[in-house]
Amino acid sequence: MGNLLILSTAFLCLCLFVALLYVLYKYWWVPHRVQFIMNSQGIRGPPYEFIHGNNKEALQMQKEASSKPMALTHDIFPRVMPYDYSCIKKYGKNYLSWNGVRAQLVITDPELVKEVLKNSEKAFSKPKPLYFFKKLLGDTIPTINSEKWARHRKLANHAFHGESLKIVKQREEKVMTGEVDSFGHDFLGLLVNAYHDPDEKNRLSIQDVVDWQDKARAEVIEIFGNQNPNSEGIAKLKTMTMIINETLRLYPPLNGVVRKAVRDIQLGKLVLPNYLDLNIRFIALHHDPDLWGDDVHLFKPERFSEGIVKATNNNAAAFMPFGLGPRTCVGMNFAITETKIALSMILQRYTFTLSPTYVHAPLPNLSLKPQHGLHVLFHSLH
């Protein structure tokens, strides 16, 4: 009996010792080794804190930034991602950060960004999604990899191609044939319904061109008149395209993406260990004065007057609101076309301004959103 007790105690001590070694290895040795490897290559950042990494400080800064509104300016990076903003200021365009025990190389250097996102050797994969996102999105394009992702992507490309321009026409046809009794109750449906108002007094007038809204309205009226948008006209909306691109530059839907080094690999002049994540911050590139000039925080759609390539000086990583490379958002063209349809239909009937009750407080919440809603006043043109 005594020997059995001794053996049990010894086994328990051995298990505890192994567990302690594992904890020390995972939560102390690996992080400090990664930190040493990256520091030796000139990549620095906030020091690793046991277990929680830099999350505690980052969450605190985010909480403080979100607790108060900001001035009505497009310089949103310090509010939307205050921790990243402060680290870039302190450590440079590329720095090492810690998401718990997981090391993250935050990249805002455009050349490195292009190398990661356009990589054809599959050296940088999409990390396994968090449980919450997996449950929320299921097996969809944002959450899957490899062959399964390729199949889904191909199907989605086929589904999105050209479909968005059929939306209005399909709704009209169903109403005309009596299949349904309304154009729908979403925003687009209400706009289509307005175009079929029996009141013949609903005529549009062209305002003087004094700002970008008026320029866009004049373009819409010139191309479509009082008619619903069509595919041929959508392709001619140059002014609206400039406005949309500048808005996406200042307010990118996603702040960034994460990739994982699947093996030890060289990136530029850096040698990365395979347990390193790469965090690419779109918003930092979109608000970088080195890429966009000293007027980077001003709303200037004319930047895009000669197209995206000219606006970015042929630097694809300077403007990527929908990502870059093989995993560029499959719904990009659909979303932009849908936006053009909705904006065209609004501009044909209304002028709009920010409400006095609007509070400027952009907030990253899955995608970038106004924290307190978007309060807009619409004024009928007739």
Pick out the residues of the known binding site: 329
What is the spatial distance between Cα 248 and Cα 346, in angstroms, rounded to a whole number?
A: 19
What is the spatial distance between Cα 117 and Cα 119, in angstroms, rounded to a whole number?
A: 6
The helix (H) or strand (E) run that includes residue 175 is helix 167-176
What is the spatial distance between Cα 65 and Cα 69, in angstroms, rounded to a whole number?
A: 8
What is the spatial distance between Cα 378 and Cα 18, in angstroms, rounded to a whole number?
A: 67
Backbone angles phi, psi at 210, to 5 degrees: -125, -15
Residue ranges for the binding site for heme?
329
Q: Coil, helix or strand for 152?
A: helix
CB atoms inside a 10 Å sphere around CB 44: 16
For residue 193, give Cα distances in angstroms to 90, 184, 290, 368: 54, 8, 47, 30
Helix/strand number for the chain, H first, E second: 17, 11
What is the spatial distance between Cα 111 and Cα 128, in angstroms, rounded to a whole number?
A: 25
Give me the long-range contacts of 23-30 (CB less than 8 A, separation at least 24): 26/101, 27/51, 27/101, 30/101, 30/275
What is the spatial distance between Cα 54 and Cα 49, in angstroms, rounded to a whole number?
A: 6
Q: Which amino acid is at 115?
A: E
Q: Which two structure tokens, joined as six digits, stand for 80?
A: 């939307």
